[in-house]
Amino acid sequence: MRTLGALVFPEFETLDYFGPIEMLGGYGKETEIITVAKGPDPVPSCHGQRIVIDRTIAEKDDYDLLLIPGGDSALKLADDPEMVDWLRRASANAERVMAVCTGTVLLGMTGILDGRKATTNKIDFNQTVHLAPGVEWIKEARWVEDGKFFTSSGVSAGMDMALAVMADLFGIEMAERLALGSEYEWHQDASRDPFAKLAGLV
């Protein structure tokens, strides 16, 4: 069984978190999903609902899989030394590291993605990527894979990325079954990114 550490923080983007979790948790008992936060209290999403915490960052940093969602508040975490240290340790320990939307920019701001290719939300692309100049930012991509790091564009793109991770770990047929079971049309082409054009990036 693999452990999945899924970080949450106040005002995290709801679909950034729950979309990938739907896909990553869909392989029965193969994955234990552990919700992680800085403190033990329930954490509100950007839409107000609160999620119960399983572990704090002080309790554990050695997960097999790591998921970092985005949200307008994600970038504030880069100002928290304790959170930055945990992100660095947890990323180093993880077999796969996944980040969605501005969660990718957060990872970039910690130096974790220096020298690697990554992508993020296209609407806010030009307003955020300068915060992590060491990253090789890809303007047109639904998601990007660079070694063990998988990063995605905004919000719903996290589900496509998560299915790509499941295909990487368990095979393409398993990922396709997960998409079918969710009645989700999986965009398997990582370079298919109409939102980059709509945002005027390409």
Per-residue pLDDT for 27 more than 80?
no
Please tell me whether residue 138 adopts helix, strand or coil conformation. coil
Q: Which CATH number among 3.30.160.60, 3.40.50.300, 3.50.50.60, 3.40.50.880 corresponds to the domain 2-198?
A: 3.40.50.880
42 strand-pairing partners? none
The residue among 166, 49, 38, 200 whose CA lies nearest residue 98 is 166
In the predicted model, what is the mean pLDDT of the chain? 96
Residue 81 φ then ψ, to 5°: -55, -35
Task: Note the Cα 48 to chain centre separation in Å.
Answer: 20
Compute the distance between CA of residue 69 and CA of residue 201 in angstroms, rounded to an integer: 23
Compute the distance between CA of residue 54 and CA of residue 77 in angstroms, rounded to an integer: 20
Query: What's the average model confidence in pLDDT over 24-29?
Result: 80
pLDDT digits (tens, 9 = 90+) for 38-90: 999 999 999 999 999 999 999 999 999 999 999 999 999 999 999 999 999 99
- The fraction of the chain above a pLDDT of 90, given in percent, is 96
| Domain extent listing, the chain | 2-198
Q: What is the pLDDT of residue 28?
A: 67
Compute the distance between CA of residue 49 and CA of residue 14 in angstroms, rounded to an integer: 9
The residue among 154, 134, 155, 156 whose CA lies nearest residue 146 is 134
Compute the distance between CA of residue 115 and CA of residue 65 in angstroms, rounded to an integer: 21
Q: What is the pLDDT of residue 29?
A: 77
Query: What's the average model confidence in pLDDT over 121-131?
Result: 96
